[in-house]
Structure 1
């Protein structure tokens, strides 16, 4: 069974990663959602973060992932990031605590393509200039911030205020046998 790939396209990129617009309330390089970056047909109004969350439960089981577009690189990164979010959420008793934890996770120091500890250097190209490096770092941070809020809302859709076990059960999974956090984290 093949993995799920992004149906979204963009004619702008940072190194070999698509520069997709998405709905966000956070400051960063993405200011407005561009309608061309929304899902068409059956995924009406879905942006790249929605797609990553939508395909997460299916894609997380794959040990390899064939990249069919530059947007798939964002899906890969966000799938790995969602796993990190779920690890944090497991330790939280309520949504407010989870939002605080995920906010800290989103803005904490993280590696980008080209950094020696970035686990996906074989998939992503290193930015060529200092400006491109800064743009990529701020773009990934904005993706992380928006994804954190959306995943917290999705996981805490329960009536009892506890995280959904149907989401937290994926915290121990390793997509593509890779983890964004180092060993022991």
Structure 2
């Protein structure tokens, strides 16, 4: 059974490219540098990453079929990193998780092509010395990471109906079961 690929692979041709990563549009409540999609009712790359995280995390191999697949890979690795952080702090409520994971999303991280990035064999970073492209990629990934954290916590891992209970809700066991799974045997770090 093959892994699931991004439906944005065909649409990524018109998107701005930095290295071999497409800067795809997504709708966001957070102010950032990502382009706004033409149709905000359609699922964007972040929705797709959240939907494909669990099935794709079972695969150790993934054939890249387009530029959007690299964004999908990055976001799936980031979601796994976030679930690992939630699992380490077992007492987090949804507000605690949102606060800590947003701080994590804004923290320093290695870009593709930099030492310390776990998948440099798949990703090509910005050209050496091209500070403008490097800054654009970092701003885009920070924005994508923030929006992913927001959707992950509010819509998937923590059930909004459980917030009325004392101490807040617990993370969903259906999501936390995947916290130790490593997509392609890799993780982003920390």
Counterpart of 1:177 in structure 2 is 185
Q: 2:52 pairs with 51, 55, 68, which one?
A: 55
Counterpart position of 1:3? 3
In the other structure, the counterpart of 2:166 is none
Question: In structure 2, what is the equivalent of residue 139 of structure 1?
Answer: 140
Deviations 1:134-176 (A, max 9, x none): 1001101111000000000111126441110100111111111
Report what 2:99 is aligned to: 100
Does residue 167 of the first structure (1) align with residue 167 of the second (2)?
no
Equivalent in 47, 71, 75 of residue 72 of structure 2:
75
Does residue 65 of structure 2 align to residue 86 of structure 1?
A: no
Q: Distance in 2 between matches of 1:159 and 1:46?
A: 24
Indicate whether 1:33 and 2:37 are aligned: yes
1:110 counterpart = 2:109: yes
Q: Deviations over 1:104-152 (max 9, x none)?
A: 1100110001111011111111201211111001101111000000000
- Report what 2:131 is aligned to: 130
Misfit runs of 4+, over 4 Å: none
Q: Which residue of 1 aligns with 2:165?
A: none
For these two proteins, the number of residue pairs brought into alignment is: 175
What is the TM-score normalised by the length of structure 1? 0.89
Of 153, 156, 159, the residue aligned with 1:157 is: 159
Q: What is the correspondence of 1:13-24 to structure 2 with a 5 Å cutoff? A: 13-24=17-28
SS at match of 2:31: coil
TM-score (structure 2 length as normaliser): 0.87
